[in-house]
Structure 1
């Protein structure tokens, strides 16, 4: 049986995650309030953020930046989470 949550990102009832996707309290908050669909959108956005900002997971400071973007994208908290200024998907200029 699939669980449903009221997804705070999509603002609607949707199928919830089947696992806690992030460590700690934030992971639990995501599990309780974010849908599979929104998490998939976040994963796509994360790739863009990593590439456009040339972030490296070898740099411990990157994890803080990722978390700030995650909070901004999924929950609308803070100034981050949006696409980098001037971003244009490949093939669209």
Structure 2
């Protein structure tokens, strides 16, 4: 039986992640409150942020920024979750 969560992003009962994405309290919070669907959207958002801001993901500054953005994206806490002003979505 899949791990079900009440997704903080979609405000609905959805399938959750198979395991916490990080070995931390924040990873547990995501595991308990974020659906696979919302996590997949975050992964795409994170790629865009890394590219738009030219972040080096192994740096403490980039990691701190991404955690802030995740909080905003999933939980609307503090800053984060907004697209960069300069971002232009790709046209297909």
The TM-score range, normalised by the shorter chain, is over 0.9
Give the deviation of 1:90 after TM superposition: 1.9
Alignment TM-score, normalising by the size of structure 2: 0.92
Structure 2 alignment gaps of length 5 or more: none
> Residues of 2 paired with 1:87 and 1:70: CA distance?
18
Give the deviation of 1:10 after TM superposition: 1.0
Residue 78 of structure 2: aligned partner:
78
> What SS does the aligned partner of 2:14 have?
strand
Give the deviation of 1:23 after TM superposition: 2.5
Question: Alpha carbon RMSD of aligned pairs, Å?
Answer: 1.3
Structure 1 alignment gaps of length 5 or more: none
How many residue pairs get aligned? The number is 92
> Residues of 2 paired with 1:58 and 1:72: CA distance?
21
Give the deviation of 1:82 after TM superposition: 1.4
